[in-house]
Amino acid sequence: MLDPRLLRSFVAIADSGNFTLAAHRLNMTQSTISQQLGRLEEVLGRDLIDRSARPVRLTAAGERLVGHARRILALQDEAELLLRDPAGTAPIHIGLPEDLATGAMAEGFARFMAGDKAIRLDVTTGLSRDLATRYRDGEFDLAIVKEMVAGNGSLAAFPEPLGWFIGADDALVARDPLPLVTFPPGGLYRDQMFDALERQGRRWYVAFSGSSLQSVLAAVEAGLGLSLLPVGAVRGTAVRERPAFGPVAPMAISLYARTADGAIGALADMVRDVLAERRGR
């Protein structure tokens, strides 16, 4: 591996054509720069500078090396500059339900990051039960999860109204058994939906199971079945609410954070404001 310090001395001599000028440029003595060139030549086993010429000039080996040496030094300077820049060096890991990864939330993240370019937000979206487990296991600094009742450690909690939704086909609700669109086992709303329909004496079957909100909404819009979904998640879609299936208790959107201080605490305050604004719409 070529020592960049030796390469820098070599390039300075090549550019100036003079050991004294090169030493002055690098703020070192002439004897030191001469020694560094000698060490580089010893490593390579080639003379790089014709010392007998005035001004000194590159040998054939020196001409072959100098371009590469300049590129190596340029890359080193670029790397050092990059590492001195703190941008993106302070990650905050966030767990977020898919339907809360909204434009308003993204805009809130952008405002937060504008205050400190060292901050990097690493956001993972997924099912709330999985996010809650991963938060407890220490994977996230901050997590927003949906749960039946907010836990004792939550910094804030907001009600999440739920409703029954279908596509354009009204005849679907008269089918027996009733086709359902759900999240996979372990997903929120699934057990609530089953329990509510069984209390009504309705027979049902799972016609479609999707692992993302987008896939579930698409299936409901296409008329594949009835689904229990957050009211706030269906805005702007073609699905229609069917209150005749009865009221369902709201869930809680709970905010958890490792600390209420520093950058994580400030981010938690921002997220709380976004969730409060969402509730007021």
Domain locations in the chain as residue ranges: 4-84, 90-160+252-280, 162-248
Q: Range with the lowest mean pLDDT among 9-13, 205-209, 232-236?
A: 232-236
According to CATH, the superfamily of the domain at 162-248 is: Periplasmic binding protein-like II (3.40.190.10)
Q: How many angstroms separate the CA atoms of 41 and 2, rounded? A: 11
Is 60 exceeded by the pLDDT of residue 281? no
**DSSP assignments along 58-101, one per residue:** E-HHHHHHHHHHHHHHHHHHHHHHHHH--TT-EEEEEEEEGGG-
Q: What is the pLDDT of residue 158?
A: 94
Confidence of residue 192 (pLDDT cuts 50, 70, 90): confident
pLDDT in tens, 17-61: 989 999 999 999 999 999 999 999 999 999 999 988 888 999 999
The pTM of the full predicted model, rounded to 2 decimals, is: 0.68
* 35 burial via Cβ count (<10 Å: 0-12, 13-18, 19+): middle
What per-residue confidence (pLDDT) applies to 86? 66
Percent of the chain with pLDDT over 90: 67
Same fold, 4-84 and 162-248: no
pLDDT at position 69, please? 94
- The token pair that represents 119 in the structure block: 């901050």
Peptide bond into 177 cis (omega under 30): yes
**pLDDT for 16 beyond 60:** yes
Question: Can you name the residues that pair with 91 across neighbouring β-strands?
Answer: 120
Taking CA 156 as the corner, what is the angle to CA 150 and CA 158, rounded to the nearest 5 degrees?
A: 70
User: Is the per-residue pLDDT at 280 higher than 80?
Assistant: no
Question: Angle at Cα 105 formed by Cα 103 and Cα 110, nearest 5°?
Answer: 90
- pLDDT tens digits, residue range 215-229? 999 999 999 999 999
CATH code for the structural domain at 90-160+252-280: 3.40.190.10
Question: What architecture is domain 4-84?
Answer: Orthogonal Bundle (1.10)
Q: 126 pLDDT band (50/70/90 cuts)?
A: confident
Q: What is the mean pLDDT of residues 58-79?
A: 92
Q: What is the pLDDT of residue 243?
A: 86
> What is the pLDDT of the chain when averaged over all its residues?
90
Given this model, what pLDDT does residue 88 score? 62
3-state secondary structure of 115: coil
